[in-house]
């Protein structure tokens, strides 16, 4: 039953690529890095996944672009940059000084590993300061192209309403998806992108915009509300 709903959601997201694209999500293939608002590489995905924690995406995006223009999205260059150089660029992002230290530490780890591919190890990622489950799984899926579904607050809210169940913790989203949808990198990317798009564009905590939502025909929350209103 749940697996069938995931298949339906994937079909809807596939048919509404324009809506996802408007929100910055381009999921074109399993191995593409072109997914997150114009970011272009595994390095940019890793850096932005650290910077975006408790910060606005719009600021993070502009800072990553500034780093790219200065060659600092290359981990060798990043590791050799001074903290002050990075502070000057990243000032404005919440907790930027802590995040600079984390980025330098990550650069060091990747350089010591000798290959970015060795970085895509969930146990390793979770042992690094500043990388929790959501960040780890986002990096694994979108930069490493590994079939790990990222838990997220958007996922918890949207899937609770669509499925008509009470998902208490965002970690439960990961389990629900991975137990009911065969591990497929492209489908996991599309499902995550679609859920985050719906969460940001329509499924607000208060007063969700159900009439405009691309999931309105399959969402239990919405269908039950219509049923109640017509009684």
Q: Which residues bind ligand SF4 (CB under 6 A)?
A: 158, 161-162, 198, 202-203, 208-210, 213, 215-216, 219, 221-222
Min CB(23)–ligand SF4 separation in Å: 14
Min CB(218)–ligand SF4 separation in Å: 8
Positions of E strands within 101-166: none
5 versus 128: smaller Cβ distance to ligand SF4: 5
100 versus 195: smaller Cβ distance to ligand SF4: 195
Min CB(177)–ligand SF4 separation in Å: 16
CA distance 27 to 191: 10
Residues with Cβ within 8 Å of 96's Cβ and at least 6 positions away in sequence, in order, are 87, 90
CA-based R_g, the chain, Å: 19
103 versus 195: smaller Cβ distance to ligand SF4: 195
> What tokens appear for 173 in the block?
């989203």
80 versus 217: smaller Cβ distance to ligand SF4: 217
Residues with Cβ within 8 Å of 228's Cβ and at least 6 positions away in sequence, in order, are none
Min CB(214)–ligand SF4 separation in Å: 7
- For the CA atoms of 186, 189, 190, 192, the dihedral, rounded to the nearest 10 degrees, stands at 150
């Amino acid at each position: 039953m749940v697996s069938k709903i995931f298949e339906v959601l994937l079909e809807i997201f596939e048919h509404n690529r324009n809506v996802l694209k408007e929100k910055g999500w381009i999921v074109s293939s399993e191995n593409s890095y072109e997914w997150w608002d114009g970011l272009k590489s595994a390095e940019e995905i890793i850096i932005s996944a650290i910077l975006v924690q408790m910060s606005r995406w719009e600021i993070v995006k502009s800072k990553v672009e500034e780093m790219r223009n200065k060659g600092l999205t290359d981990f060798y260059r990043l590791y050799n940059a001074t903290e002050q150089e990075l502070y000057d660029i990243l000032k404005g992002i919440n907790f930027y000084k802590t995040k600079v230290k984390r980025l330098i530490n990550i650069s060091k780890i990747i350089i010591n590993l000798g290959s970015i591919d060795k970085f895509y190890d969930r146990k390793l990622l979770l042992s690094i300061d500043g990388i929790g489950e959501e960040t780890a799984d986002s990096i694994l899926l979108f930069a490493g192209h590994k079939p790990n579904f990222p838990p997220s607050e958007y996922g918890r809210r949207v899937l609770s309403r669509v499925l008509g169940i009470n998902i208490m913790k965002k970690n439960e989203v990961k389990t629900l998806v991975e137990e009911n949808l065969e591990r497929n990198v492209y489908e996991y990317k599309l499902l995550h992108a679609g859920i985050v798009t719906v969460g940001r564009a329509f499924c607000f905590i208060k007063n969700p915009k159900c009439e405009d939502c691309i999931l309105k025909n399959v969402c239990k929350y919405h269908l039950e509300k219509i049923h109640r209103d017509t009684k």
